[in-house]
A and B are shown apart, each in its own frame.
Chain A
Amino acid sequence: MSDDHDHHDGTDDHELRVSKIRNGTVIDHVRGGQALNVLAILGIDGSEGEEVSVGMNVPSDRLARKDIVKVEGRELSQDEVDVLSLIAPDATINIVRDYEVIEKHRVERPDVVTGVLSCPNPSCITTAGEPVTSRFEVLDDAVRCSYCETIVREEIASLIDT
């Protein structure tokens, strides 16, 4: 449960400056500065006509500063939520239907993410034009390439294969 003062679409007072959504997903408690990476992970760039609202560095009781992403007309799959956990481990996912939050849960880190991140090791076989899908094991505080075994702790968002 959020320690922020929640409203009916999962946001608090500070986020009222960002419009409520009717049906879709509110991704709350994203670490400050990560909102655009969240969109990148979800493959949302606006080119499909998606209606997206983003709040960045808004005050939060829990995180001091947080980002918030609202996606109209789209409910996230569990796979998408799992991957979000890599860069937004504190995030809460609010599924909204007809302006009401009908489901609310925290993200959980998956064991493996596939096809989402690119290996930063230039000597890794996955960077060599082979017909292979990237695969990373998720560690407690890092991710690890399943092929070359490189461990990445910082800047995981920079590995997002956009």
Chain B
Amino acid sequence: MRHDHLITSKQLSRADIEAILDHAAEIDADPSAVADRHADKLLGLLFFEPSTRTKMSFETAMKRLGGDVVDMGSVESSSVKKGETLADTVRVIEGYTDALVLRHPKQGAAAMASEFVDVPLLNAGDGAGHHPTQTMLDLYTIRENAGLDDLTIGIMGDLKYGRTVHSLAYALSNFDARQHFVSPESLQLPREVVYDLHQQEGAQVREHESIDDVLPSLDVLYVTRIQRERFPDENEYQKVAGEYQIDMDTLDAASDDLTVMHPLPRVDEIAPDVDETDHAAYFEQAHNGVPVRMALLDRLLSEGGDGDE
């Protein structure tokens, strides 16, 4: 990977991913070892969309590395409201900071912004495009619960607009993972993602409309929210919504070892009765955001700017 920016999980090799996950595990085991590692560093948080977990976990991660953050604040209170371009915003804030975290509603925003700055830039979500740091914590959670090789994973919900899904699918194609994508026809994977996965040698990908087709074979079920607002007709949403919800009855057909994940926030895709079972890994998944982002920041801030392989 380029060490100075993280735009998409496509730029990560298996070796990159394993190195980051190993480093996150070391930090997880002994956070004090890195407590002052970046005491003189500032991270710029540029969130053009609402965020709770991603933003707060980056802030926590940076502070646990001894550094600090500066936050653009809401779009309404920033110069963006005056019509400033993203290109100008990142060029200004890079002058204040050692690295930038960007979330933006437009696809390709991080790729474009990275062309205007010299400090490391991390993509924290660009519209329906990519969310590579989420993917790293997803992979960390999968590795902890089920391992990353000889893995059968179901990815269910809004696959069309779900950026976490796209990034995860790309990253998993580095491993011996059988990926089953489950969604209503209207929310299937974008053809760009399918194209990429088919280009990837060894990627094992199948698409389904019903979870029943694959549930018993799964080691991991990754659930995302079916986004009601994406449907032009409420009746169309109601027809499919119930088909993509998980509760204890649904899980009767699953392996006892099934790990259920969700990038959160959830609405009603996973019933509360699943929370207390050994299947539920979604809160652990969210907690893993801190050590994983500490590992990513440590890597980028230690090596950032040199652009070497």
Contacts and interface: CB of A to CB of B under 8 A. Distances in A.
B112 A125 contact: yes
Contacts of B284: none
A130 interface: yes
Contacts, number: 55
Interface string B98-114: 00000011111101100
Interface stretch (A32-40, A59-67, A105-113, A144-152): A144-152
B87 interface: yes
A148 B108 contact: yes
Contact of B111 (A123, A127, A129, A147): A147
A123 B115 contact: no
Interface in A115-134: 121, 123-132
B117 interface: no
Contacts of B86: 125, 128, 130
Interface residues on A, range: 10 to 19
B191 A151 contact: yes
A132 B106 CA distance: 14
B192 A126 contact: no
Is chain B's binding surface mostly helix, strand, loop or mixed? mixed
B108 A147 contact: yes
Contacts of B112: 125-126, 130, 132, 147
Given A130-B85, A130-B86, A125 B192 contact: no
Nearest to A129: B85
Interface string B246-282: 0000000000000000000000000000000000000
Contact of B107 (A123, A129, A130, A144): A123
B142 to A, nearest CB: 24
Interface in B107-139: 107-109, 111-112, 115, 126-129
A131 B85 contact: yes
Contacts of A124: 106-108
Looking at B108, B112, B128, the one whose CB has the most chain A CB atoms below 10 A away is: B108
A150 B105 CA distance: 16
Contact of A125 (B108, B128, B191): B108
Interface in A83-111: none
A144 B106 contact: no
Contacts of A121: 107
A131 B87 contact: yes
Interface of A: 121, 123-132, 144-151
